[in-house]
Structure 1
């Protein structure tokens, strides 16, 4: 499978494929309720908080959306009927910046190749005439997904602190420029950024309609910053390790591979008495 993205028109041609599973990963204060009010027909519900994270009482321990244990995620996949032959298409309502790209990354990190994010998300599917349903499909649970470790790069808070100001590494903050500068912080306790991090807002991966720029345009944006660095030396973070996956997906779409993810991100860093950078707007 070549592209991490699939268009609504491409998806329409595959809906009857026996191995295809459509997954609804929209995030809201009550994801289950959002799903039950209406979802793409045949889509399986995925809870971003329960299925894609192991949220702790103290966000200083891994941030707001720490990864679950691999074994727990593999059990979740089995419960959803996902096996290594499944062709998975995930959507949310933020063109992947919500939780679809996070689930894409997690699956790729287990070694699953047949996984794509729906370009344009829920809204694009509706515009393309996809049916909406309030019925939940019958799941066909299987055994736990056969994987034992995350195989993509993951950075800890200590890893980031050690290299954030090292010229041989690049730390990218994909949050908005306002949050990066420290103008305001709508979610976490402290405004600012990790000293040494470069701000590359994820919204700039998309055009005015919310669709991804072409692979060529994405490469033109990032290659001058990357230089000759390999992906082990490039660390991407956001607020809680979710929307950073949108940039990782964009980079993979552009043929640049998948750099390292700092899962804890700003929500962990800002709660651990670490240095705080601020920039005058």
Structure 2
């Protein structure tokens, strides 16, 4: 019988697992922090070079477009991840950025045995998980073979239709000031996709940096969705990374996984589309 792997694992649960029973992944936007300190035994994946393509033009796919399945399969092989591997991933952003993106990508590659550490590196340290600057040796394996991303996603045309439809929903997980068009410190234009609703990813978290309890998340999102089924919900952020945190929250809440708009605001705002502001 297959073992069920919840998408989120508590740090204290992680400490109870035999160390060689899982592959621990540290996901980040640069290797500098990993080189200074990381959870002992973890392997590093880079958001910009392993979990995304370097875009020739962010108007086509946004700032963090997905790599090809073949290229991501090579990353998994380099990390020694096989279809049977139990993978645990964390970041230093409460799982809100690279860790959630890696979780989504691994699930979309057809790999179910992947969990994100609740509260990230900070929470694991607080529970007594050892931290080091020693680089972990890795035993590579064969490339992971898959031909297409197996989780639901939406492109810019589908988002434009959904944002103006009463029976479809587009969720923008950026903070309110970016959504309102008051500030924009990353992309070229401030504002939001007209018709989208703003549910900042930070609202998924309690004051301690961990996810709210599944029941509370379920109640909140059930209210926000207003009866719209998960297959008709599209989630986006600035570049398709932080949106994965909300996709993880929805799964953690027992609601399933909505569609990811990978290009997100970074693509929409570069294509002459209508811009909404409050």
Equivalent residue runs for 1:16-35 within 5 Å: 16-18=19-21, 20-27=22-29, 31-35=30-34
Partner of 1:11: 14
Once the two structures are TM-superposed, the CA of residue 172 in structure 1 deviates from its matched residue by 0.3
Once the two structures are TM-superposed, the CA of residue 16 in structure 1 deviates from its matched residue by 2.2
Once the two structures are TM-superposed, the CA of residue 74 in structure 1 deviates from its matched residue by 0.6
TM-score (norm 1): 0.95
Once the two structures are TM-superposed, the CA of residue 227 in structure 1 deviates from its matched residue by 3.2
Equivalent residue runs for 1:151-162 within 5 Å: 151-162=150-161
CA distance in 1, matches of 2:175, 2:31: 28
Equivalent residue runs for 1:1-281 within 5 Å: 1-18=4-21, 20-27=22-29, 31-279=30-278
Q: Secondary structure at the match of 2:80?
A: coil
Is the contact made by 2:168 and 2:228 (CA closer than 8 Å) also made in structure 1? yes
Q: Secondary structure at the match of 1:116?
A: strand
Instruction: State the aligned residue count.
Output: 275
Is the contact made by 2:91 and 2:97 (CA closer than 8 Å) also made in structure 1? yes
Q: Deviations along 1:234-271, whole A, 9 cap, x unmatched? A: 00000000000000000000000000000000001001
CA distance in 2, matches of 1:151, 1:231: 16
Instruction: Answer with 109-118 or 225-234: which moved more.
Output: 225-234
Is the contact made by 2:64 and 2:240 (CA closer than 8 Å) also made in structure 1? yes
Once the two structures are TM-superposed, the CA of residue 186 in structure 1 deviates from its matched residue by 1.0
Gaps in structure 2 of 5+ consecutive residues: none
Q: Deviations along 1:21-62, whole A, 9 cap, x unmatched? A: 0000023xxx21211111111100111110000021321111
TM-score (norm 2): 0.96
Q: CA RMSD in A?
A: 1.1
Once the two structures are TM-superposed, the CA of residue 96 in structure 1 deviates from its matched residue by 1.0
CA distance in 1, matches of 2:199, 2:81: 34
CA distance in 2, matches of 1:188, 1:73: 26
CA distance in 2, matches of 1:201, 1:95: 14
Once the two structures are TM-superposed, the CA of residue 130 in structure 1 deviates from its matched residue by 1.4
CA distance in 2, matches of 1:148, 1:68: 12
CA distance in 1, matches of 2:199, 2:19: 39
Is the contact made by 2:193 and 2:276 (CA closer than 8 Å) also made in structure 1? yes
Q: Secondary structure at the match of 2:89?
A: strand
Q: Secondary structure at the match of 1:36?
A: helix
4+ runs of 1 displaced by more than 3 Å?
A: none
Is the contact made by 2:25 and 2:44 (CA closer than 8 Å) also made in structure 1? yes
Is the contact made by 2:5 and 2:113 (CA closer than 8 Å) also made in structure 1? no
Once the two structures are TM-superposed, the CA of residue 228 in structure 1 deviates from its matched residue by 3.2
